């Protein structure tokens, strides 16, 4: 009888009728307890008939209908602490602050060193095309462990959209179980028996690999084409033109193409900015077998981007293996990254030529904005009055390649950070953009932050520093301007919001 209904007692509180599915891992039950009591799973001691529940299996912990389950443990907020800042009461908030305070998205609870997974999910959730594909995923399509992981991520996205701590806790537990099945290394245990901390970049790669196998590409839009088979390749996949030139022999250059789902920013003593780290990786010295010399020789490998994805993932290569301590040690160096990124210089001449028309439109709009700001003082002087009725949203992809980037301009929309000295310890957090605001998603705690706080995540100390960056396409919105005739009276505002034309 896998499903039973039990009574959960925590302190003086009694919660009857809690349904438990013993086919699920015990961590799912602990997630339900967290949703009821607010006690984090790692702080819980769950006892029934003298037997303590473990995290990894039910063992001798036998549940029957109407059994009494005792929960011991305190919420973190029960521990007295000195407030960092003065409490703001709802009555004292303005309209904007109130909207921010009451309309925060749901977080994901930490099921025991699962912050790496929670941060990854929150960053990927910022890609609307990926989120919608997951929400509409056919859960009956099968697909083994990759299919199960895709289904679990689909359910997690649905739970985050609906809200509710209980639903999100259960979805996160199922996602963790699917991740363990797809990549058993994530189920490793630490010295104390609890789940070991894992690398968020490896989790990101594993999830993306599963989605690449199971999530079909969006259908081509009218007057467009799409030859990519899945959403990941469509919106995250780029292409490199690669040229190899031997430095030790007179060989003809070797040209080829490579694909990528993310770019790497290697951190050296000279790298102080993201752009220089990316640029240095595009031209490097490698050693390979020379057919002319019959031995290994030094080659110069030059890469140019020939296809830009709509969403550009960048990894800061911050960890390296330290043999003496047998850990992946962390490079704490401060490397600045921008909110707006231009990768034009990294592109091939052919792609640069294709990017030129959209870049010209952005320049025209930016120049108009500068001119408008200079003439703001005269905006109420008679003939110069203009009224913006609508905005036309221009597609950010090439007509024959849905999911590409047709300008080379990007805007930062998510940062995954790590705090600590090694990839197998510390803590991961997601910082995501929602409109003009930024949110810090620290497991189940979601709080608004400023852009300045996000830009301070560049490293240089023991505070959180950027590990993965996710840039989305900068979207061009052209205003539709109407200039009323001098004899016309000013138009009355309609009260309708501006419309966006796809």
d(C-alpha 451, C-alpha 107), whole Å: 20
More confident residue, 401 or 500: 401
Give pLDDT, residue 492: 43
148 or 270: which leads in pLDDT: 148
Query: How large is the average pLDDT for residues 410-434?
Result: 92
The pair of three-digit structure tokens given for residue 132, joined into one six-digit string:
């919608």
Nearest Cα neighbor of 35 from 19, 52, 48 is 19
Residue of 48, 115, 168, 265 marked catalytic: 115
For the ranges 32-41, 216-225, 334-343, which has the lowest average pLDDT?
216-225
Q: Determine the pLDDT at residue 439.
A: 96
Largest CA distance in the chain: 88
What's the distance, Cα to Cα, between the start and end of the chain in Å? Answer: 53
Domain definitions of the chain by residue range: 1-74
- The whole-angstrom separation of Cα 421 and Cα 417 is 12
The helix or strand, by DSSP H or E, that contains position 212, with its residue range, turns out to be: helix 200-214
Q: Is 427 in the active site?
A: yes
Instruction: State residue 196's pLDDT score.
Output: 92
Closest of 313, 203, 293, 181 to residue 248, by C-alpha: 293
Strand pairing class (319-322; 283-290): unpaired
In terms of DSSP bridges, do strands 68-72 and 45-48 run parallel, antiparallel, or are they unpaired? Answer: antiparallel
Whether 386 has a pLDDT exceeding 60, the answer reads no
Q: Extract the runs of DSSP E, i.e. beta strands, from 291-406.
A: 295-307, 312-317, 319-322, 327-330, 340-342, 387-394
- Look at 124-128, 189-193, 217-221, 444-448 and tell me which has the smallest mean pLDDT: 217-221
Nearest to 408 by CA among 485, 321, 309, 333: 309
Nearest-Å Rg of the Cα atoms of the chain is 27
* CATH dotted code for 1-74: 3.10.20.90
Confidence of residue 211 (pLDDT cuts 50, 70, 90): very high
Q: What is the pLDDT of residue 188?
A: 93
Q: What is residue 78's predicted lDDT score, i.e. its pLDDT?
A: 47
Residue 76 pLDDT: 64
Q: Is 203 a catalytic residue?
A: no
Tokens coding 312: 């550009």
Helix axes 144-162, 128-135, angle to 10 degrees: 110
User: pLDDT of 102-157, one tens digit each?
Assistant: 478 889 999 999 999 999 999 999 999 999 999 999 988 888 999 999 999 999 99
* DSSP string for residues in 140-159: TS--HHHHHHHHHHHHHHHH
| Mean per-residue pLDDT, 49-70 | 87
149-163, 315-329, 354-368, 429-443: least confidently modelled range? 315-329
Q: Percent helix, strand and coil across the chain, each rounded to 5?
A: 30, 30, 35
| 66-114 pLDDT per residue, tens | 899 999 888 765 444 444 455 555 445 544 454 455 478 889 999 999 9
Predicted pLDDT of residue 1: 55
User: Which residues does 295 contact at the CB level (< 8 Å), separation at least 6?
Assistant: 289
* pLDDT, averaged across the chain: 85
| Catalytic member of 265, 418, 427, 441 | 427
pLDDT score recorded for residue 491? 45
Distance CA 74, CA 231 (A): 43
Q: Which pLDDT does position 395 carry in this prediction?
A: 95
How far is 478 from 390, CA to CA, in rounded Å?
A: 9
Full DSSP string of 58-101: -TT----TT-EEEEE---GGGS----SSPPPPGGG--HHHHHHH
Indicate whether 380 pLDDT > 90: no
- Predicted confidence at residue 180, as pLDDT, reads 96
CA nearest 63: which of 31, 30, 21? 21
Q: What local confidence, expressed as pLDDT, does residue 225 receive?
A: 52
Query: CB within 8 A of 270, min separation 6: which ones?
Result: 276, 280
- For the residues 230-243, what does the mean pLDDT come to? 96
């Amino acid at each position: 009888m896998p499903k039973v209904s039990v009574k959960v007692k925590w302190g003086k509180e009694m919660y009857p009728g809690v349904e438990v599915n013993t086919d699920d891992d015990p961590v799912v039950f602990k997630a339900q307890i967290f949703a009821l009591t607010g006690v984090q799973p790692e702080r819980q001691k769950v006892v029934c008939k003298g037997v303590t529940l473990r995290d990894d299996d039910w063992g001798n912990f036998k549940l029957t209908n109407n059994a009494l389950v005792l929960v011991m443990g305190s919420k973190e907020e029960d521990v007295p602490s000195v407030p960092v800042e003065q409490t703001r009461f709802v009555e004292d908030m303005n309209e904007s602050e109130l909207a921010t305070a009451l309309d925060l998205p749901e977080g994901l609870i930490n099921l025991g060193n699962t912050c790496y997974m929670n941060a990854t999910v929150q960053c990927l959730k910022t890609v609307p095309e990926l989120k919608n594909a997951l929400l509409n995923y056919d859960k009956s399509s099968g697909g083994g462990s990759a299919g199960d992981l895709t289904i679990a991520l689909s359910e997690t996205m649905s739970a985050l959209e609906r809200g509710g701590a209980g639903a999100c806790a259960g979805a996160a537990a199922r996602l963790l179980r699917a991740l363990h099945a797809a990549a058993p290394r994530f189920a490793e245990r630490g010295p104390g028996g609890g789940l070991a901390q894992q690398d968020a970049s490896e989790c990101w790669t594993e999830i993306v690999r599963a989605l690449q196998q199971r999530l079909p590409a969006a259908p081509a839009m009218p007057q467009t084409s799409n030859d990519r088979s899945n959403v990941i390749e469509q919106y995250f996949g780029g292409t490199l033109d690669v040229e190899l030139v031997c430095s030790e022999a007179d060989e003809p250059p070797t040209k080829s193409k490579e694909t990528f789902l993310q770019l790497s920013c290697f951190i050296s003593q000279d790298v102080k900015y993201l752009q220089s780290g990316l640029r240095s990786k595009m031209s490097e010295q490698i050693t390979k077998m020379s057919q002319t010399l019959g031995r290994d020789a030094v080659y110069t490998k030059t890469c140019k981007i020939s296809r830009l994805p709509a969403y550009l993932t960048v990894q800061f290569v911050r960890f390296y293996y330290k043999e003496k301590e047998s850990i992946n040690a962390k490079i704490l160096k401060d490397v600045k990254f921008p909110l707006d990124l231009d990768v034009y210089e990294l592109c091939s001449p052919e792609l640069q030529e294709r990017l030129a028309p959209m870049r010209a439109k952005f320049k025209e709009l930016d120049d108009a904005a500068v001119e408008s700001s200079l003439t703001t003082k005269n905006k109420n002087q008679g003939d110069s009055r203009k009224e913006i009725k609508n905005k036309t949203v221009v597609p950010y992809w090439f007509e024959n390649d849905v999911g590409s980037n047709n300008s080379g301009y990007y805007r930062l929309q998510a940062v995954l950070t790590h705090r600590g000295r090694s990839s197998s310890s510390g803590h991961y957090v997601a910082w995501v953009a929602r409109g003009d605001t930024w949110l810090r998603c620290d497991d189940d705690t979601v709080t608004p932050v400023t852009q300045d706080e996000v830009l301070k995540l560049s490293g240089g100390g023991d505070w959180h520093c950027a590990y993965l960056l996710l840039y989305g396409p900068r979207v061009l919105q052209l205003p539709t301007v109407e200039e009323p005739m001098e004899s016309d009276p000013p138009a009355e505002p309609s009260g309708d919001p501006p419309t966006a034309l796809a």
